[in-house]
Chain A
Amino acid sequence: MTEALAVVCTLLVLLSVSFYLSWRASRLDRLHTRLETAQAALDAALARRGAVVGELAASGVLGPAASVLLADAAARARRAGERADREVAESNLSRVLRAVLAETGAAADGGDLLAETYAAARHVHIARRFHNDTVTAIHTARSSRLVGALHLAGHARLPAYFEMDDEPPAPLDQHWPDLPGEGGNER
Chain B
Amino acid sequence: MRVGLVCPYSWDVPGGVQQHVGDLAEALMELGHEVSVLTPCDADTELPAHIVSAGRAVPVPYNGSVARLAFGLRTANRVRRWVRDGAFDVLHVHEPTAPSLSLLACWVADGPIVATFHTSNPRSRAMAASAGMLQTALEKVNGSIAVSEAARKTLVEHLGGDAVLIPNGVWTRRYADAEPLPGWPGEGGAIGFLGRMDEPRKGLAVLLEAFNDLGRRRRDLRLLLAGPGDAAEVRARVAPDLRDRVTVLGRVSDTDKARVYRSVDVFCAPNLGGESFGIVLAEAMSAGATVLASDIPAFRHVLRGGAAGELFAVGRARSLAGRAAALLDDPARRAELSRAALRAVRAYDWPAVAADVVRVYETVLPVGAGGPVGAGSGR
Residues of chain A having any CB pair with chain B under 8 Å: 23, 26-27, 30-31, 34, 37-38, 40-41, 44-45, 119, 122-123, 125-127, 129-130, 132-134, 136-137, 140-141, 171, 173, 176, 179, 181-182, 186
Contact = CB atoms under 8 A, between A and B. Distances in A.
B143 interface: yes
B347 interface: yes
A123 B176 contact: no
A129 B346 contact: no
B140 interface: yes
Nearest to A134: B142
Contacts of B347: 171, 176
B346 A179 contact: yes
Contacts of B366: 37, 40
A179 B139 contact: no
A41 B367 contact: yes
Contacts of B339: 182, 186
Nearest to A182: B342
Nearest to B288: A182
B346 A126 contact: no
25 contacts: A23-B379, A30-B140, A34-B140, A37-B364, A41-B363, A41-B365, A41-B367, A45-B363, A122-B356, A123-B359, A123-B362, A126-B164, A126-B359, A126-B360, A127-B363, A129-B143, A129-B162, A129-B163, A133-B143, A133-B162, A133-B163, A136-B161, A140-B135, A173-B343, A173-B346
Interface in B211-237: none
Contact of A136 (B142, B160, B364): B160
Contacts of A137: 139, 161
Nearest to A132: B162
Contacts of A122: 356, 359
Interface of B: 112, 135-136, 139-140, 142-144, 160-164, 176, 336, 339, 342-344, 346-347, 352, 356, 359-360, 362-367, 379
A122 B164 CA distance: 10
A26 B139 CA distance: 12
A34 B367 contact: no
Contacts, number: 79
B367 A44 contact: yes
B139 A130 contact: no
Nearest to B143: A130
Contacts of A181: 176
A127 B366 CA distance: 12
A123 B365 CA distance: 13
Q: Which 10 A-B pairs have the closest CB atoms?
A: A130-B143, A133-B162, A40-B367, A176-B346, A126-B363, A127-B363, A37-B366, A41-B363, A126-B164, A173-B343
A34 B379 contact: no
A104 B207 CA distance: 42
A123 B363 contact: yes
A30 B138 CA distance: 12
Contacts of A179: 176, 342, 346
Q: Which of A23, A44, A137, A181 has the most CB of B within 10 A?
A: A137
A27 to B, nearest CB: 6
Contacts of B143: 126, 129-130, 133
Given A122-B356, A173-B346, A182-B339, 7 more contacts: A26-B379, A45-B363, A126-B359, A129-B164, A137-B139, A179-B176, A179-B346
Contact of A31 (B112, B139, B346): B139
